[in-house]
Amino acid sequence: KLSICSIQRAIENLKNNKYGEDNVFMITRNIPDMADIINGGVDLKEFNVGNISSKDGSRQIKKSVNVTPKDVDIIKNLINKGVKITAQMVPNEPDSSIMTYIEK
């Protein structure tokens, strides 16, 4: 099954248990979009960050992960709320906190 939807529709679908007992693999365009879903009331305990291209004002923290100062603020805020955030590109990499790479 596949659902492609806006952030608001994703929040509604997830909060209303549209997917039942199915495992859901959610992909967002960027970190602020994922934060909007979590801040919209979706009980998401952890997520992985990967493949964020370089843009003005961003810095590379891993080979294919670039973050802006705004991204870093959002990440810190979510971690302070108890959300686990990793930057694990392949399964055999450690699933360390993304802060490990940001603070380097």
Tell me the CATH architecture of domain 7-102: 3-Layer(aba) Sandwich (3.40)
Predicted confidence (pLDDT) at residue 104 exceeds the cutoff of 90:
no
Three-class SS state of 77: helix
CB 68 within 8 A of CB 58: yes
Q: Hey, where are the domains in the chain?
A: 7-102
Give me the pLDDT at residue 25, please: 93
The Cα diameter of the chain in Å comes to 41
56 exposure class (CB count in 10 Å sphere: 0-12, 13-18, 19+):
exposed
pTM of the entire structure?
Answer: 0.91
CB 34 within 8 A of CB 3: no
Distance of CA 90 to the CA centre of its chain: 16
Mean pLDDT, residues 42-59: 95
Residue 37: band (very low, low, confident or very high) from pLDDT cuts 50, 70, 90: very high
Give me the pLDDT at residue 1, please: 82
User: pLDDT of 55-77, one tens digit each?
Assistant: 999 999 999 999 999 999 999 99
